[in-house]
Each structure stands twice: as structure tokens, then as C-alpha cells.
A = this chain, B = another copy of it.
Amino acid sequence: MKSEQRKTQILECAKTLFSAKGYYQTQISDIQQAAGVARGTIYQYFKNKDDIFVTLLENLYRDWRAELSGRPERNAKAYENGFEVFKFRIRQTFKFFAEDPDYCNILLKVGLGLGGDFDRVIAQFDRHLVEMTKYYLLSGLKMGRIRSDINIEMVTNMIGGAFMRMAFYYGVTRKKRPRLDFDALTEDFVRTFAYGIFPENH
């Protein structure tokens, strides 16, 4: 228990540092000092430096999924059509990243291009998000709620890319925006993909 707290504390310090300085620029000694423990203590909780970063990524994935689970309270009926579910998840993800910019920065910037085991864990998140989108698109297609002429593969990627960039934008780049309205944000985001940006009488 006490031990678990210590581990969490080290991870928290590591998160801040990795986010601020990147993986290779962050030394074990930085983490150790920030956490206020001795150098060797780190190695009682983690196998090595990689392990810290991977644990961080796995926690991120776990926490994100916890955020996703649950249902939108209101409008339980609409939930059935899949669109509301999708919107809810988009909303929760926005919230998740906006409320933890370090996680956001680590997943969408710092963690990329590191190679090795890291790619695997990051790909896990990526795949999950993409599958979620694709699932929505496919079921929407089947129900006639989505245009039949779209290129699923492409649109999936587009939505994923657009979403991640926005998450990064609102979570990291624009750090000091006081209070984001996640519902409105999500509505705007979804509407753009739903109806396009051309006037209706195009």
C-alpha cells in the first residue's frame, strides 16, 4: 500500500518530466530527484527506464478506457443508434486529454518515433481508437445513416487524425484555455464530419 503510493509518486514525476523534456532528455537522476528518492530506489519499483515509460503508457491506456466506459446519462434511447455512443466517446477522450495534458503530450508527441517496445503500446491505443471509429462507420453504413460512397479506410484515418490533432491542440498547444465545454466541442467536431463545410445548397 505504502509501496504502491511510492510507485505512483515516481510515475507521476516521470510523467511530468517525460512530457516536458522527452524520453531521452529525461535522465533517471531527474526522476529520482523530482520524486525525492535515492537513485537505487527507482530500481526497486521498475526494472529499468523503459519499464517506467511503458508503465506510464499502459496506465494511460487503462485510464482512458476507464474514461470511455460508462454511458451517456441522458438520451439513453439515441444511444442505441451508435451515433450517440460514438459522440460520447469522442467527448470523453477530449476530456481525458484536456484534463491530463502530460498524458496527451506523451502519447501524441513524445512517445512517437521511439521505436522498440514503445511502438507496440502506443499502437494499442491507436488501433483502439481507429477500430472504434471504423465500427461506428460500418454500422452507420449498414443502417443507411452514412453515405454509401465514402472510402471507409480513408475516412477512418481522417477522423482519427483530425481528432488526435484537436485533442493535442486543446490539450497541449492551447494549454491555458480556461474551461473547455466538451459537449460543444464534440458537437462542433462531429457536425463538421457529418455535414461538411460547404453550404447546404452547394
Most buried by B among A22, A145, A185: A22
Residues facing B in A146-191 (CB within 8 A) are: 146-147, 150-151, 154-155, 157-166, 169, 185, 188-189
Closest B residue to A141 by beta carbon equals: B197
The range of chain A's interface size is 35 or more
The reply to whether A115 and B25 contact each other, CB–CB distance below 8 Å, is: yes
In the complex, what residues of B have CB within 8 A of residue A21's CB? Answer: 115
The reply to whether A157 and B162 contact each other, CB–CB distance below 8 Å, is: yes
In the complex, what residues of B have CB within 8 A of residue A145's CB? Answer: 198-199
Cα-based distance from A194 to B158 in the complex (angstroms): 13
User: Is A43 part of the binding interface, using a Cβ–Cβ cutoff of 8 Å?
Assistant: no
From B115, B137, B161, B165, give the contact of A22 (CB < 8 A). Answer: B115
In the complex, what residues of B have CB within 8 A of residue A196's CB? Answer: 192-196
Cα-based distance from A144 to B202 in the complex (angstroms): 10
From B111, B161, B199, give the contact of A166 (CB < 8 A). Answer: B161
Cα-based distance from A185 to B194 in the complex (angstroms): 20
In the complex, what residues of B have CB within 8 A of residue A113's CB? Answer: 22-23, 109-114
| Chain A positions 94 through 124: 1 when the CB is less than 8 Å from some CB of chain B, otherwise 0 | 0000000000000001111111000000000
The reply to whether A162 and B158 contact each other, CB–CB distance below 8 Å, is: yes
In the complex, what residues of B have CB within 8 A of residue A160's CB? Answer: 165
The reply to whether A194 and B198 contact each other, CB–CB distance below 8 Å, is: yes
In the complex, what residues of B have CB within 8 A of residue A164's CB? Answer: 161, 165
7 residue pairs bridging A and B, Cβ less than 8 Å apart: A22-B113, A109-B113, A154-B185, A192-B196, A193-B197, A194-B198, A195-B202
